Amino acid sequence: MAISAVTCTQHILNEGIPRIVYAWREPSTFVDCVGAETLEAAGRTVIQLADLSEAARAPNMHLLDRP
């Protein structure tokens, strides 16, 4: 597995993507969760589709339920 020092947020900013739509804000288990705020501060439109959050979260449940 390759690990990048560049975050997804930084890739989005670097590419100039103007509108970002996501379903689930990842917990700090995976990342430092400031991407949406960083993108908004940079003038990007950020939309969360909360109705899809459970479906997006489901594949990661085995990691989230750790003691």
Exposure string over 29-64, b if 16+ CB within 10 A, otherwise e: eeeeeebbebbeeeebebeeeeeeeeeeeeeeeeee
Cα within 13 Å of Cα(38), Cβ side = 12
pLDDT, tens digit, 9 for 90 and up, residues 26-40:
777 666 778 999 999
Local mean pLDDT, 10-residue blocks, the chain (67 residues): 76 97 80 88 96 86 68
Cα–Cα dist 48/29, whole Å: 20
